[in-house]
Amino acid sequence: MPSLRQLGLALAFAGAIHAQAVNLGKAAPFAVLGASTVTNTGESIVTGDLGISPGKAITGFPPGKITGSTHTANAHALDAHTDLQAAYDVAAAKNSEPLEGDLAGLTIIPGVYSFSTTGALNGDLILDGLNNTESVWVFQTGSSLITGSGASVKLVNGASACNIFWQVGSSATLGSGTEFAGNILALSSITTNTGATNVGGFYALGGAVTLNGNEVTKGAECVPKPTHQPCKLKRVKRVVRLRVSV
């Protein structure tokens, strides 16, 4: 039997605000993007690009592994941070349905949701895509995002980590063994404890990204393919001059 809290939330979510995906722009290929430092302890695996700007300190690789490219305060990282700021502002400005308490034990349909202060997850959260692979979730927190040890975000019925965005008003902390999903856009820093995993990206606008034996996976399906403009053929007029003999 569902609890009264679950029933009440189900009714509220029935009128959830429609969410559109947040465009990460040039930040999309990055699995980890920090501002001041990116540090790692242990054998973390970053699937995707890793970058930092305006800071230059990336430490702990190796023993950590990066499958993509590393960008240290270069043009790629700078452009990614510029687009990240725009994405953060868009996510923070969306109208939302208010949330209270812990997300654990809830099943949430696509929409835009907000915590006035801290967002907490100390158990299992289910995101139900309603059989629509284009479904989008945006979660806004007024301050921090904190998960407990062993917490998880489970995706069902077409839900995709590519379309989940966590806009965090200060810093995010993932507890040990957390199985997370989605793109964390933190105004300050992101810290992960031992064994935490994320399918999505870690994006810190103003502070550090700190890893500790983690797996961060930015799937290729989450990175828009570049569009190529068709070549336009120039029409060349050929002038033929005839020489007439008299």
What are the pLDDT digits (tens) for 168-213? 999 999 999 999 999 999 999 999 999 999 999 999 999 999 999 9
Instruction: Return the pLDDT at 225.
Output: 73
Whether the CB-CB separation of 165 and 91 falls below 8 Å is answered with yes
> How does pLDDT run across 80-97, given as a tens digit for each residue?
999 999 999 999 999 999
Task: State the burial class of residue 3 (Cβ atoms within 10 Å of its Cβ: 0-12, 13-18, 19+).
Answer: exposed
| DSSP one-letter string for 163-176 | GEEEEESS-EEEPT
Q: What is the mean pLDDT of residues 153-167?
A: 98
Instruction: Return the pLDDT at 17.
Output: 78
Whether the CB-CB separation of 43 and 37 falls below 8 Å is answered with no
Whether the CB-CB separation of 13 and 106 falls below 8 Å is answered with no
Instruction: Return the pLDDT at 22.
Output: 97
DSSP 8-state assignment for residue 121: E
Convert 107-135 to b/e letters by CB count within 10 Å (16 or more is b).
bbbbbbbbbeeebbbbebbbbbbeeeeeb
Summary mean pLDDT of the chain: 90
Tell me the CA distances in angstroms from 234 to 223, 231, 237, 238, 241, one per residue in order: 33, 9, 10, 12, 22
85 SS3 class: helix
Structure tokens that stand for 225 in this block: 């393919």
Instruction: Return the pLDDT at 223.
Output: 86
Instruction: Return the pLDDT at 219.
Output: 86
